[in-house]
Amino acid sequence: MTFSIAARCAATGMLGVAVSSSSPAVAARCAHVRAGVGAAGSQNVTDPRLGPRLLDLLADGLAAPDAVARVVAEGGPEIAYRQLTCVDAAGRTGAYSGASTLGTHGTREETDCVAAGNLLATTGVLDAIAGSFATSAGHLAGRLCAALAAGLAAGGEEGPVRSAGVVVAHHVAWNVVDLRVDWHDDPIGELGHLWTLWEPQWQAYVTRALDPGAAPSYGVPGDA
């Protein structure tokens, strides 16, 4: 039971994935981003190797639809169990749902974003996710968290959601946003709360790495 969105911010070039599931620690397995390259999701009987493979193909110059097609062609019989999403640095999207994808499932591709889900309450969940992203503004992470919340409000999964996460890449080699709620009764709500704490500070932590003398301090000097 999983629903997710992979997206690009056209204004900043940020790339990100947000995902939620009834399983614990879903973002650790399903969300993959690389600055200047793309964002990819691999879910439904998850093979965590497929997200990085998609990003490698994007880095080699393939567009998102072609990267997804290549991974599907390479996947062998097991690919029928997988669900993939991909957005490249130009905002092109690709998606795949294998024949053995669980329950009510599907994908939605829109400008700069692609949503996917399995064991959904209704395919309208995907319309709500993509629609929320298309009509929102602000930092990419906030838009992704709002898209998950819209999907949940539209019915979410067949069962309760227990974990959620959001990752965003931008200009540097590490994720500038990497927030996870690995087990919670309201993981999407808690993820939104974490983002409100992280949003005022994310840029300062980038500055700490690149130019520590110019960085503001939070809490104890020298803290993480």
pLDDT in tens, 74-100: 999 999 999 999 999 999 999 999 999
DSSP codes of every residue in 81-140: G-EEEEEETTS-EEEEE-TT--SS-EEEEETTEEEEEESBS-THHHHHHHHHHHH--S-H
- Distance from the Cα of residue 159 to its chain's centroid: 21
Q: What was the pLDDT predicted at 213? A: 87
Beta-bridged to residue 39, according to DSSP, are 33, 87
Q: How far apart are CA 92 and CA 78, in angstroms?
A: 26
Per-residue pLDDT band at 219 (split at 50, 70, 90): low
Please say whether the beta carbons of 176 and 169 come within 8 A: yes
Domains of the chain: 2-214 (3.60.20.10)
Please say whether the beta carbons of 156 and 29 come within 8 A: no
Entry pTM: 0.95
pLDDT in tens, 168-218: 999 999 999 999 999 999 999 999 999 999 999 999 999 999 999 887 765
Per-residue pLDDT band at 130 (split at 50, 70, 90): very high
Q: What was the pLDDT predicted at 221? A: 45
Q: How far apart are CA 105 and CA 44, in angstroms?
A: 10
Degrees (nearest 5) of the Cα angle 206, 4, 34?
Answer: 35
